[in-house]
Structure 1
Amino acid sequence: MKFKEYDVIIVGTGVSGLYAALNLDSSMQILMLSKRELTLCNSALAQGGVAAVMDTSNDNYELHIKDTLIAGGYKNNIDNVRILVEQGPKDVKNLLNYGVDFDRKQDGSIDLTLEGGHCRHRIAHHKDSTGFEIVTSLIEGVKKLSNVTILENTHLLGLTKRGDDFLFDVLHEGKHSYYTTKNTILATGGIGRVYDYTTNSAIATGDGIQFAYNMGADIQHLSYVQFHPTAFADHENRECFLVSEAVRGEGAYLLNCNKERFMHKYEPERKELAPRDVVSKDMMKEQKETGSDKFYLDISYKDPEFIKNRFPMIYNKVLEKGYDMTKEPIPIYPCQHYLMGGIGVNGHGATNVKGLYAAGECAHTGVHGINRLASNSLLEALVFSRLIAEDINKNNTHRELGTLEADYPSPDGKPLPKGIRTEIRHIMQRSYFVVPDYVEAAKDIKRVTELKNLLDNGGFEVTPDYIEAKSLTTVAYIILSEVVAEGKEKGII
C-alpha cells in the first residue's frame, strides 16, 4: 500500500486543530482531517466565552489560578495551570488578528463578563456564541494557508505506529485513502456520545482516545467527567441544548420543582455561582429532598431587551421549545458536558508516544483538575495547541516528502451487530451520572469488557460505525475501570 507523506497530520478541526495549523511553520505540508463539516465540533458549541486576565487593573494571574484550582478540587497540574493562565491573554489577543469579534464596551475595550467559579469579570465573549465565532474566524485563516490540505467528511478508520511513522487509513468520499507522517496531532474532542444525553456534537465519540490507547499512549483520569447543571431539559433528543454558565453569571436563579431558590441551602456564599460540579451535585441533593427531577433557570426579572441582546442564540433556541426566557423560568437538568481526563500530555502537548500530540478536550494537561472552571476550555485549546506547534517547529528537519510503501490490514470483515452503541450509552447513564454508582459500575464493567473483547477480536468490517462503537466501548471500559477501582479503595465494593 502506498501512503502519501505529510509533515504533520491533524485529526480534528475545532479550535485546537485550527490554531495548531495556524501556528505551524508555513514550510511544512499539513493535512487536516475533519470527521464531518468543519463547523461541527464541540468548540463551535461553546457559548460563554474564553477566560483570560485581560483587565490587569481589576484582575491578576494569581486570582485566575486560584479560581481554577478551587474549581478543580486542587487536583490540577499547577505547572500547566500557570502556563494556561500566564500565556493565555496573548493568545486571546491574537484571535483579534483573525477577525474574532468580541463584544465591546462603549469605550471600545473588550466586554468581560462573569461566570460561575470566577471571582472577577474575565470572560471575553461574542454574544452567547463565542465558540462558533472563534471557529469560523480560524477556519477562514486556515483556508488562506497554501500548505494546508483539509479533508471534510472524512472518517479515520485506522491509525497505527510503525517505527517513527504513523500510518493513516481514512475513508473520504466512499474511498479509502492512505497517509503517513512523523507528527500527529489528535484534536478529536470529547466523549459525550458515550452517554444517553450530552451537550456534545455528534462527532464526540472518543475516537482519538481509542486510537491513542491502542498505540500505547497513557490515558489519564478518564473518569473526570463534567456534568453541566443547566442543560435544557429535553429528553426527546440525545443532544441537549446547553444554557450557558453566563446566564447565571448575569444573575439567573436556579429554582426547584416548587419554583423556589435552593442553592443558598448548600452554598450560602456562592449560591448559583458555585462551580459546575458543585451545582450539579446540589441539584441531586435537592431532587432527593423534593422527590422531583424538575428544575428551572430564571432570569425573567431582568430587562427583556438585555436578555435578548446578551443571549440571542439561547433566547431563540428555548423560544423554539415553547419557552420565553424574558417572561418565565426555563426547564433545565444536569447533562454530560465535558471531559477533564484524556490522553496524557506534558506542557508541550506531547504524549509518551514519540511524535504523537494531543490538544483540547481529548487531551489531559491536568489544568482542569476534577472539574473544569467555566470558559477555561477554549483557553486551553488555544494555549496548548500553540505550544504543540512550537514544539514541532523546533524539531522540524525540513525533509523531502514522498510516499511510503507498507503492508496494511484489509478493512473487510463481518457486519457489525446492531445495538452496541445504544447499550453502552445506557450502561454509562446508569453507572455514572453526576455521582458514580459504584455497585452498578462493578456489575456493568463485566458487560463492557465482553463488548470490548468482541469488537477487538470479532473480525468485523472496519467502517465508521465500527470505529465509533469501538471508541465508545473503549472509553466506557476505561472510565468504569477507574470508577470500580475507586469504589474498592473506598470499601464500597
Structure 2
Amino acid sequence: MQVNEVENYDVIIVGGGVAGLNTALHLDSRLRVLLLCKRESTLCNSSLAQGGMVSVYDEANDSCALHIEDTMIAGRGENNREAVTVLSRESHLAADELIALGVDFDRDEQGNYHLTLEGGHSRHRILHHKDSTGREIVDKMLAAVRQRENVELLDNALVCDIKQIAGGYSLNVLQGGEHRTLSARFCVLATGGLGRLYQYTTNSAIATGDGIAMAYQMGARIRNLSYIQFHPTAFHNDKRECFLISEAVRGSGAYLLNCHGKRFMDRYDERLELAPRDVVSQAIMKEQEATGSKDFYLDISHKDSDYLRGRFPMIYTNLLERGFDLTKEPIPIYPCQHYLMGGIDVDLYSRTTLDGLYAVGECSHTGVHGRNRLASNSLLEGIVFGRRAALDINERAGQSGEELRPYPFKPDVYTADIPKGTRTEIRSIMQRSHFVLPNRQLAEEGFIRINDIRFLLEHGQFRQNADYVEARSLATCAYLILREIM
C-alpha cells in the first residue's frame, strides 16, 4: 500500500528486516502503522542470512537449558541470562508462527524438520531453508504484512532525523527528493547493524548504523557498541561486500586450512572448526602471524558432491560464478565484519531508555549475545523481541495520549555535498584500529580524526541526502566504538 495523506500514525517502524516485519505482524489491527524501508523492501541483512534460525524444536534430544548454556559460552558469559532465557523459551513459538506463515523449512526423509548443526552448538537445532533461510522468512513475512490493512509500507524512505516530541516522535523522511514530517506516538527502530563502517563486510549497503546514531543523539542509552563480530569464513576477495560462506558448511564437516593446506584449529581450540566465530577468527589471525600468510581456505570437497549441491545450492552457485567449485576444491576465506552484538540498550520488551521508543533486531542491545553471537541466534532474536515490542505497544496504545504536534524540522536549503572520501576515511580508520584483534594505539589516533569528522558533519552546512545522513551515522558510531575501547 502507498502512504495516504495522513501524516500522523500510532506506530512508525523504521526498518523492514525480520525484526521490523514481525513487530508489524503482531501489532493490534486497530493501530495505524507505517513501516519505512530505507531502500527497496527486500534489501536487508535478514535476507542475507544463510544458515538458519535456532529453535529448541526437538525437545526429545535438546532443551532450553542446553541452548542457554551454549549461548552463554559463546558470549563469554557477558550475556543477560534473563534475555537469553526468554529467547530460548520462545524459540518454539517463533518457529510455529513462521511455519503458519508458510515458511518452508527443510525436512528429512521421514518428513520431520531437518535440524542442522553449527559452530558453538551442542545439539542439532537449526531450522533452515537450504542455505537461504533469511530470504525465505523475509519473503513470507513481507507477503503477510502486505495483507494487513492497517499497515502501510513505504520503500526508498530515508530517515534523516528523529526528534522526541510531546507524546511521541517526529521523523524527517526523504523520499523522491522531497522531505516530509511523519509523527507517531510510538517509534520502533529496526535499522540493523553498522557493517558499512568497515572496508570489508558481509552486510548490505543499508547497514550504516542510522538508528543507533539517531537514538544516541536523542539521549537513548547505547551499550557495548564495540562488541563487533567478525565472521571467520567470508569469501576472500577485494570487494567491499563479501560473500558469506555459512556457518552450516563447517557444521556439515568442512575443514579450515592454512597457507600450507593443513588443518590448524587443533592448536587453538578443542572444538576445532566448530568453535564459536570469535575463537575461529582469532585463531586465523594468530595462524597468520605464525605463517606470515593471509591465505586461508575452507574445504568440504571430501563430502558427497550431490549432497553439497543440494544442501548449499546458493553458496555453490555463487562460488561457481567466482571461479570456485565447492565440491572439488578448497575455497579462499578470511575474516570480515559480520554482526553487532551491542547497540541501543533495551529491556525484555524492547523498550529503550526513552519513553515510547523501541529498538529491535541488530540495532538493539538485548544482552542476548554477550561478547560474541552464537550462530543462527540473530534471526530468532529479531523475531522474538519484535513480537514482544508489539505486545507492549498493544497494551499501552489503549491508554490516552497527547495530541501530536510535529517537530518543526528546518528546511533543507544547503547545496554542498560532504567532502569526497569522508566515508572511505572512516572505514579505513575502523579497519585498521578495531578488527579481530583491536589495536589500542591506532584506536586512540583514529578517535581524534573521527571526532573531527563527526564535528564537521554535525555542524557543517551540507545537503541532507543519503551520503550525508549515512556518513554522519558512521562517524557517530565510530566515535562511540573507539571511545568505548580507549
> Does the TM-score normalized on the shorter chain lie above 0.5?
yes
SS at structure 2 position matched to 1:89: helix
2:297/2:333 contact within 8 Å kept: yes
What corresponds to 2:483 in structure 1?
Answer: 481
Matched, 1:179 2:182: yes
Q: Which residue of 2 aligns with 1:97?
A: 100
User: Take 2:154 and 2:230, find their aligned partners in 1: how far apart are those partners?
Assistant: 32
Does the residue aligned with 2:90 lie in a helix, a strand or coil?
helix
Instruction: Give the structure 2 partner of residue 110 of structure 1.
Output: 113
1:428 is matched with: 430
1:385 counterpart letter in structure 2: G
1:208 maps to what in 2? Answer: 211
Asked whether the 8 Å contact 2:202–2:337 carries over to 1, the reply is yes
Structure 2 distance, partners of 1:129, 1:73, is 29
In the other structure, the counterpart of 2:228 is 225
Q: Does 1:160 align with 2:149?
A: no
Equivalent pair of 2:119/2:273 in contact (CA under 8 Å): yes
> Does 2:272 match 1:271?
yes
Post-superposition offset of 1:101: 0.2
Secondary structure at the counterpart of residue 196 of structure 1: coil
Distance 1:405 1:439 in 2: 45
Cα deviation, residue 38, structure 1: 1.0
**Structure-2-length-normalised TM-score:** 0.97
The answer (yes or no) to whether the contact 2:167–2:404 under 8 Å persists in 1 is no
Contact 1:3–1:403 under 8 Å retained in 2: no
Q: Within 1, Cα distance between the matches of 2:59 and 2:466?
A: 48
Return the offset for 1:164.
2.1
Displacement after TM superposition at 1:265 (Å): 1.1
| Alignment correspondent of 2:397 | 396
Shift of 1:50: 0.3
d(CA) in 2 for partners of 1:211 and 1:404? 20
Q: Which moved more, 1:390-399 or 1:274-283?
A: 390-399
Q: 1:444 aligns with which of 428, 443, 446?
A: 446
Structure 1 counterpart of 2:259, one-letter code? C
Instruction: Indicate the larger mover: 153-162 or 315-324.
Output: 153-162
Question: Structure 1 CA distance, aligned partners of 2:417 and 2:381?
Answer: 40
Q: Using the alignment, how far apart are the partners of 1:68 and 1:393 within structure 2?
A: 30
Matches within 5 A, 1:327-338: 327-338=328-339
Which residue of 38, 41, 46 maps to 1:38? 41
Aligned partner of 2:432: which letter?
Answer: R
Q: What secondary structure, in the 3-state scheme, does the structure 2 residue paired with 1:451 have? A: helix
In structure 1, the residue matched to 2:312 is 311
Tell me, yes or no, if the aligned pair for 2:168 and 2:404 is still in contact at 8 Å: no
The aligned counterpart of 1:370 is: 371
Checking the alignment, whether the CA contact within 8 Å between 1:33 and 1:154 is kept in structure 2 is yes
Provide closer, same or farther for how the CA distance between residues 3 and 407 of structure 1 changes in structure 2, counting only shifts above 3 A. Answer: farther
Q: Distance in 1 between matches of 2:465 and 2:242?
A: 27
Taking only aligned residues, the RMSD between alpha carbons, in angstroms, comes to: 1.4
Are the equivalent residues in 1 in contact too, given 2:166–2:405 (CA < 8 A)?
Answer: no
Residue 417 of structure 2 aligns with which residue? 415
- Kindly provide the amino acid, as one letter, of the partner of residue 277 in structure 1: D
Kindly indicate whether the alpha-carbon contact (under 8 Å) linking 1:196 and 1:429 is maintained by their aligned counterparts in 2.
yes
Using the TM superposition, name which of 337-346 and 87-96 deviates more. Answer: 87-96
- CA distance in 2 between counterparts of 1:476 and 1:354 reads 26
1:461 Cα deviation after fit: 2.0
Matches within 5 A, 1:243-322: 243-267=245-269, 269-322=270-323
Structure 2 residue ranges without an equivalent (≥5): none
Contact 1:6 1:401 in 2 (8 A): no
**1:178-197 alignment runs, 5 A limit:** 178-197=181-200
Instruction: Say which of 21, 27, 32 aligns to 1:29.
Output: 32
Deviation by residue 1:338-380 (Cα, 9 ceiling, x = unmatched):
0000000000000011100000000000000000000000010
8 A contact 1:226–1:336 mirrored in 2: yes
C-alpha distance in 1 between matches for 2:402 and 2:352: 24
Q: Following the alignment from structure 2 to structure 1, what is the Cα–Cα distance between the partners of residues 401 and 169?
A: 17
1:162, 1:402 → 2: CA distance? Answer: 10
Letter in 2 for 1:131: G
Equivalent position SS for 2:7: strand
Q: CA deviation at 1:409?
A: 1.3
- Would you say 1:131 and 2:130 are equivalent positions? no
Q: Is the 8 A contact 1:4 1:403 kept in 2?
A: no
**1:165 CA displacement:** 2.4
Q: Which amino acid aligns with 1:260?
A: K
Size of the aligned set, in residue pairs, is 481
> Distance in 2 between the 1:84 and 1:338 partners?
18
Q: Give 1:37 shift.
A: 0.9
Distance across 1 between alignment mates of 2:220 and 2:480: 13
Structure 2 CA distance, aligned partners of 1:405 and 1:428? 37
Structure 2 counterpart of 1:361, one-letter code: E
1:401 Cα deviation (Å)?
A: 11
